[in-house]
Amino acid sequence: MILVLWDIDRTLLYVGDIDRLVYREVFESVVGREPEVLPRKGTGITMPLAVRELLLANSVPPDQVDEFTDRIVDLLPKRLGDHRDRLRTEGRLMPGAVAALTAVQRSPQLVPSVVTGNLQESARIKLEALGLVTYVDIEVGGYASDNPHRPALVSTAQRRAGRKCKHEFNRGNTVIIGDSLQDVRTGVEGGAHIIAVASGTTSAEHLAEAGADHVIADLTDVDLLLRLIAKVKA
């Protein structure tokens, strides 16, 4: 069996500026003023780390950063959920996402889940809004709500999937499919093969240089994707 861990944003779907809108709204409700600087787009860092960067970039006193980080992180999923209608109307699927997810889900030797910088509930909200949640086992994934250090999420997902499937997952039978340098780093440091998808803000060349095992332009060539996944145990 092979554990297939999908990244979400810019790999399977794209929600435009809705994430940044949510950061803006929650920052204002907790800190009491509008942020002048918002998190960078497409970095792939976990939400708790993005919140810390947001607070520091907006001159929040260091002795308040930990408290405000916890409060903002707690509020993010609910505020994202308040924008479900916008997610449905403004969000879009990445090219080939549904066909690729379907092919992986239908393969009896593949276990599809996610590893993401999103909090678990935020991930669920996005996947549900774009009609993708049924293609992955969301309960065995790795999320920023488990650990803000993204490489640690691989072993979290491996343990959860292992308990459910009664099978040991490790670097030799785990693959991450994602678009960012953080996805590549997660696999290299966390213990997984990496199929990088150049559908985000990082070029194919930079993804390869960072250590991706394979780089593809997008998810539209499903046969190629399945062949690359199969190479994990070859």
pLDDT at 45: 87
pLDDT confidence of 138, banded at 50, 70, 90? very high
Over residues 146-197, the pLDDT tens digits come to: 999 999 999 999 999 999 999 999 999 999 999 999 999 999 999 999 999 9
Q: Which of 134, 141, 133, 137 is nearest to 115 (CA)?
A: 141
Find out whether 80 and 25 touch, Cβ atoms under 8 Å.
Answer: no
Find out whether 8 and 15 touch, Cβ atoms under 8 Å.
Answer: no
Alpha carbon distance 231, 223 (integer Å): 13
Tokens for 3? Answer: 């554990």
The yes-or-no verdict on residue 232 having pLDDT over 70 is yes
pLDDT at 230: 95
Alpha carbon distance 90, 87 (integer Å): 5
Residues 6+ apart with CB under 8 A from 215: 195, 196, 197, 198, 204, 207, 208
pLDDT confidence of 15, banded at 50, 70, 90? very high
- DSSP code per residue over 85-111: HHHHHH-EEPTTHHHHHHHHHH-TTEE
Q: Give, for 17, the enclosing helix (H) or strand (E).
A: none
The yes-or-no verdict on residue 234 having pLDDT over 60 is no
pLDDT confidence of 61, banded at 50, 70, 90? very high
pLDDT at 189: 97
- Average pLDDT along the chain: 96
Tokens for 78? Answer: 């609910």
Architecture of the CATH domain 2-15+92-233: 3-Layer(aba) Sandwich (3.40)
pLDDT confidence of 40, banded at 50, 70, 90? confident
Domain ranges of the chain: 2-15+92-233, 18-87
Task: Say whether 41 sits in a helix, a strand or coil.
Answer: coil
pLDDT confidence of 133, banded at 50, 70, 90? very high
Over residues 186-205, the pLDDT tens digits come to: 999 999 999 999 999 999 99
pLDDT average, residue stretch 215-226: 98
The yes-or-no verdict on residue 226 having pLDDT over 70 is yes
pLDDT average, residue stretch 20-35: 96
